[in-house]
Amino acid sequence: MILTEQKRRYFGTDGIRGRVGDGVITPEFVLKLGWAVGRVLANGGQNKVLIGKDTRISGYMFESALQAGLSAAGVDIYLLGPMPTPAIAYLTRTFHAQAGIVISASHNPYHDNGIKFFSGSGTKLPDSVELQIEAMLEQPLVTVDSAKLGKAHRVDDAAGRYIEFCKSTISSAIDLSPLKVVVDCAHGATYHVSPEVFKELGAEIVVMGASPDGLNINQNCGSTEPRLLQAAVLENEADLGVALDGDGDRLIMVDHKGELVDGDEILFIIARAQQRNGIGNSEVVGTLMSNLGLEHALTKSNLNLHRANVGDRYVIAKMQETGSRVGGESSGHIICLDKTTTGDGTVAALQVLAEVIETGHSLHELRTAISKYPQCLINVKVNKKVDLKNDAAVLAAVKSIEDKLGDEGRVLLRASGTEPVVRVMVEGRDATVTNALAKELASTIETILLA
This prediction has a pTM of 0.91
pLDDT at 134 over 70: yes
Region 152-170: mean pLDDT is 98
Residue 254 to residues 188, 220, 238, 243, Cα–Cα distance (Å) = 19, 16, 10, 8
Region 163-168: mean pLDDT is 98
Question: Cβ(266)–Cβ(329) under 8 Å?
Answer: no
Q: In terms of Cα–Cα distance, which of 451, 320, 311, 309 is closest to 386?
A: 451
Residues contacting 104, CB < 8 A, separation 6+: 53, 54, 56, 59, 85, 113, 114, 116, 189, 246, 247
Q: Between vectors from CA 54 to CA 53 and to CA 60, what angle results, nearest 5°?
A: 60
Question: Cβ(226)–Cβ(33) under 8 Å?
Answer: no
pLDDT digits (tens, 9 = 90+) for 418-433: 677 888 999 999 999 9
Least confident of 13-17, 73-77, 429-433: 13-17
Question: Cβ(274)–Cβ(283) under 8 Å?
Answer: no
| Type of residue numbered 451 | A
Residue 280: predicted pLDDT: 80
Active site residue 106: yes
Average per-residue pLDDT for the chain: 93
Region 88-94: mean pLDDT is 97
Among 95, 121, 156, the domain-final residue is 156
Domain ranges, residue 385 = 375-449
Q: Are residues 381 and 354 in the same domain?
A: no
CA distance 33 to 113: 14
| Type of residue numbered 22 | D
Among 367, 399, 430, the domain-final residue is 367
pLDDT band, residue 126 (cuts 50/70/90): confident
Secondary structure of 159-201 in HEC code, one letter for each residue: HHHHHHHHHCCCCCCCCCCCCEEEEECCCCCCCCCHHHHHHHC
pLDDT band, residue 4 (cuts 50/70/90): very low
Residue 144: predicted pLDDT: 94
Q: Are residues 221 and 361 in the same domain?
A: yes
Residue 7: predicted pLDDT: 56
pLDDT digits (tens, 9 = 90+) for 320-362: 999 999 999 999 999 999 999 999 999 999 999 999 999 999 9
Q: Are residues 18 and 133 in the same domain?
A: yes
| Type of residue numbered 76 | D
Assign 3-state DSSP to the chain and report helix, strand, coil percentages, each to 5.
Answer: 40, 20, 40
Q: Are residues 125 and 81 in the same domain?
A: yes
Q: Are residues 6 and 42 in the same domain?
A: yes
Residue 170: predicted pLDDT: 98
CA distance 242 to 98: 33
Region 205-221: mean pLDDT is 98
Return the CA Rg of the chain. Answer: 22
Region 74-82: mean pLDDT is 97
CA distance 126 to 313: 8
Residue 9: predicted pLDDT: 83
Q: Are residues 94 and 41 in the same domain?
A: yes
Burial class of residue 185, CB neighbours in 10 A (0-12, 13-18, 19+): buried
Q: In terms of Cα–Cα distance, which of 57, 78, 82, 81 is closest to 67?
A: 78
Q: What is the CATH number of the domain that holds 418?
A: 3.30.310.50
Residue 367 to residues 129, 232, 355, Cα–Cα distance (Å) = 39, 20, 12
Residue 41: predicted pLDDT: 83
Q: Are residues 185 and 286 in the same domain?
A: yes
Q: Are residues 57 and 93 in the same domain?
A: yes
Q: What is the CATH number of the domain that holds 204?
A: 3.40.120.10
Q: In terms of Cα–Cα distance, which of 52, 53, 129, 48 is closest to 96?
A: 48
DSSP letter for 263, please: H
- Name the β-bridge partners of 428: 409
Report how many domains make up the chain: 3
Q: Are residues 187 and 310 in the same domain?
A: yes
Question: Cβ(327)–Cβ(317) under 8 Å?
Answer: no
Q: Are residues 347 and 207 in the same domain?
A: yes
Residue 451: predicted pLDDT: 66
Q: Are residues 340 and 386 in the same domain?
A: no
Segment of 39-43, 127-131, 400-404 carrying the highest mean pLDDT = 400-404
Residue 313: predicted pLDDT: 84
Q: Are residues 332 and 193 in the same domain?
A: yes
pLDDT at 450 over 80: no
Residue 408: predicted pLDDT: 86
pLDDT at 171 over 60: yes
Among 336, 367, 398, the domain-final residue is 367
DSSP letter for 389, please: G
CA distance 74 to 71: 5
CA distance 271 to 252: 16
Residue 1: predicted pLDDT: 60
CA distance 391 to 142: 47
- Name the β-bridge partners of 446: none
Residue 331 to residues 59, 313, 369, 380, Cα–Cα distance (Å) = 24, 14, 19, 22
pLDDT at 384 over 80: no
CA distance 163 to 308: 31
pLDDT at 6 over 60: no
pLDDT at 5 over 50: no
Catalytic residue among 106, 119, 194, 324: 106
Higher pLDDT, 212 or 416: 212
pLDDT at 150 over 90: yes
Residue 417: predicted pLDDT: 63
